[in-house]
Amino acid sequence: MKVLACPLIIYICDMIFNDINYASVYQAVITGLVVAIIGHMSEVFMLKKGTLWINTFADLILSFIIVYLSQFFLIGSYITIVGAAITALLIAVAEHFEHIYLIKEGKTRKS
Q: Return the SS3 of 78.
A: strand
Band of pLDDT at residue 110, cut at 50, 70 and 90: low
The structural domains of the chain, with segments of one domain joined by +, span 2-104
Mean pLDDT of all residues in 76-82? 97
What span, in angstroms and rounded, lies between the C-alpha atoms of 47 and 54?
8
Q: Please check the confidence at residue 17 and state whether its pLDDT lies above 90.
A: yes
The pLDDT tens digits for 41-76 are: 988 888 888 888 999 999 999 999 999 999 999 999
Compute the C-alpha angle 75/79/85, nearest 5°.
145
Q: Please check the confidence at residue 111 and state whether its pLDDT lies above 60.
A: no
Q: What is the pLDDT of residue 61?
A: 97
Higher-confidence position of 51 and 89:
89
| Maximum separation of any 2 CA atoms in the chain, in Å | 45
Share the mean pLDDT of the chain: 93
Q: Residue 6, Cα to own-chain centre: how many angstroms?
A: 5
What span, in angstroms and rounded, lies between the C-alpha atoms of 109 and 107?
6
Q: What is the pLDDT of residue 34?
A: 97
Q: What is the pLDDT of residue 21?
A: 96
Beta carbons of 5 and 97 less than 8 angstroms apart: no
Mean pLDDT of all residues in 6-18? 96
